[in-house]
Structure 1
Amino acid sequence: MSDSGNTSAQKAEQAAKNEVRLLKKKAVVDQRIAAATEERGVTILLTGTGKGKSSSAFGTMARALGHGQSCAVIQFIKGRKATGEQLFFGEHPKVEFHVMGHGFTWETRDPELEQKAAEQAWELAKNVLANPDIDFVLLDEITYMYKYGYLNEADLVAALANRPAHQNVMMTGRTAPRALLDSVDTHSKVNNERHAFANGVKAQAGIEW
C-alpha cells in the first residue's frame, strides 16, 4: 500500500476515534442537561484582582435586555467620571440605573459620608431585590461595602434568599465575605496575569470607564 493509502487509513481511524470521543462527551452533557430540571433565578458573584468583573456583569445584563427582561443597576462606588455603561444603559427604558451618591470614591475617604451613602444605596438595593417586576439586578462593586464595614453581609444574604424566585442577581468586587461566598449559586474569580496600566499605559474611556 502506498504512503498516501496509509495516510488515508490513519485519517479515517483518527476520525472514527474522534467521533466516539465526541459521542461520549455529548452523552455526558445530555445527561447533565436532563438532570438540571430546577427553574429559578440564580445569584452570581464575580471577585478577583483581574480586570473584567463589572464588564462581564454588564455584558450579562445586555444579554438579559436582549430577551426583553427588566433590569436594575446599583453602583456602590462613585467615580470621577460618568462611565460608559451609565451613559449607554442609563437611558434604556428597561433599566433602572443608580449610582451611589457622594459617598465612596477612590480619591476621597470620608467615613461618615461613605456610611450614609452606603446605607442609601442599600435601601435602593433592598427595594429592587424585593421587586417582582425586576428580572435582573446588578450590584456593582458592592463587596467593598463589607470590606470597609459600612454594611452587614447578613442583610444581603437574607435579601438574596427572599428575593422573587425568578430574579437573577450579579455582584462584583475584588473580595467578598465568607457568608456571601457560601450563599451564591455561582462564583467566578478573575485573576490578574498582566495589566496595561502597570506598564505605563494610561487609563482610557471605553476600556477602564
Structure 2
Amino acid sequence: MQIESPPVDRDTPKPQGERRGLVLVHTGNGKGKSTAAFGLALRAHGRGKAVKVYQFMKVPSARFGEHRLFEQLGIPIEGLGDGFSWKSRDLEHSAELARAGWARAEATLRAGEHFMVVLDEIMYPLRYGWVPLDAVLTALRERPPHVHVVLTGRGAPDELIALADTVTEMALVKHHFNAGVPAQRGIED
C-alpha cells in the first residue's frame, strides 16, 4: 500500500444548485447494493424523514434482518414478490406480483408523501419484462420534485443510468460463495 498525504484544500468547487429529489441507482455484480440503499433509508429516517421500502423479490411475509430492524424503527418495508425466479413455481404469477407491486410503488412515488422511496431489486422485474421500463422512467420523471428514489439490482438498463443523478456500480472482486462458504444470517439477510 502506498501512503499518501491527506488533502488540505478542497479539490472540487462547492455546488451552487438547488436541492431536489435525487434518483440513485446501485447496480453491478458485487455485494452491497441493497445494504447501501438501506443505509440511505436509515440516514433519512434518522433525520425524521418519511421513508418507504419496497422489495420486489422478497415475499410479503419475509422476516430478514432488515425487516426486523425497520419494523422496530417504524420504517415501512414491503415485500412485493415470491422470491427469486429460480425459486418460483409459477413465473406468470411472479410477473403478476411484480406488476401489482410496481402499481403500489408508483402510487407512492407520485403521492409525494415520502422523502425517500427505495425500490430494492427492481432491476430483476425490469430485465424480465415483468415491469415496463418506460413506465418506471416516466414515474421517475413525473414524481414530485422533493422525492428521492433509490433503485437497486444487477444490470441496470442504460436508460435508467442516463436518467439517474447518481449511479454506483458494485464490482465483484472476491466472494466467499466461490470458496464454498454459504450465505450467512446477518450478512446476506
TM-score (norm 1): 0.81
Among all aligned residue pairs of Structure 1 and Structure 2, give the percentage whose two residues are the same amino acid.
36
Of the candidates 28, 52, 63, which is equivalent to residue 82 of structure 1?
63
The alignment of Structure 1 onto Structure 2 pairs a total of residues equal to: 184
Does structure 2 retain, via aligned residues, the 8 Å contact 1:119–1:151?
yes
Unaligned runs of 5+ in 2: none
Secondary structure of 1:130's counterpart equals helix
Deviation (angstroms), 1:168: 0.8
Deviation (angstroms), 1:105: 4.4
Secondary structure of 1:64's counterpart equals helix
Q: Determine the C-alpha separation between the residues in 2 that align with 1:127 and 1:138.
A: 13
Structure holding more helix per residue: 1
Matched, 1:59 2:36: no
Does structure 2 retain, via aligned residues, the 8 Å contact 1:65–1:71?
yes
Highest Rg: 1 or 2? Answer: 1
The one-letter code sitting in structure 2 at the alignment partner of 1:46 is: H
Does structure 1 retain, via aligned residues, the 8 Å contact 2:55–2:119?
yes
Aligned residue in 2 for 1:13: none
Does structure 1 retain, via aligned residues, the 8 Å contact 2:27–2:155?
yes
Q: Determine the C-alpha separation between the residues in 2 that align with 1:62 and 1:103.
A: 24
Equivalence map 1:93-108=2 (5 Å): 93=74, 95-102=75-82, 104-108=84-88
The one-letter code sitting in structure 1 at the alignment partner of 2:143 is: R
Matched, 1:92 2:73: yes
Deviations 1:146-173 (A, max 9, x none): 1111011111111011111111110000
Deviations 1:96-120 (A, max 9, x none): 2110143654412522101110111
Q: Determine the C-alpha separation between the residues in 1 that align with 2:89 and 2:155.
A: 19
Does structure 2 retain, via aligned residues, the 8 Å contact 1:126–1:159?
yes
The one-letter code sitting in structure 2 at the alignment partner of 1:151 is: V
Of the candidates 95, 104, 109, which is equivalent to residue 129 of structure 1?
109
The one-letter code sitting in structure 2 at the alignment partner of 1:99 is: G
Does structure 2 retain, via aligned residues, the 8 Å contact 1:76–1:104?
no
The one-letter code sitting in structure 2 at the alignment partner of 1:92 is: L
Matched, 1:116 2:99: no
Of the candidates 119, 128, 131, which is equivalent to residue 151 of structure 1?
131
Q: Determine the C-alpha separation between the residues in 2 that align with 1:125 and 1:105.
A: 20
Q: Determine the C-alpha separation between the residues in 2 that align with 1:170 and 1:44.
A: 5
**Which has the higher relative contact order, 1 or 2, with Cα contacts under 8 A spaced 6 or more apart?**
2
Aligned residue in 2 for 1:14: none
TM-score (norm 2): 0.89
Does structure 1 retain, via aligned residues, the 8 Å contact 2:82–2:88?
no
Aligned residue in 2 for 1:6: none
Q: In structure 2, do the counterparts of structure 1 residues 109 and 173 end up closer, same or farther at CA, with 3 Å as the change threshold?
A: farther
Deviation (angstroms), 1:36: 2.8
Q: In structure 2, do the counterparts of structure 1 residues 105 and 89 end up closer, same or farther at CA, with 3 Å as the change threshold?
A: farther
Q: In structure 2, do the counterparts of structure 1 residues 103 and 112 end up closer, same or farther at CA, with 3 Å as the change threshold?
A: farther
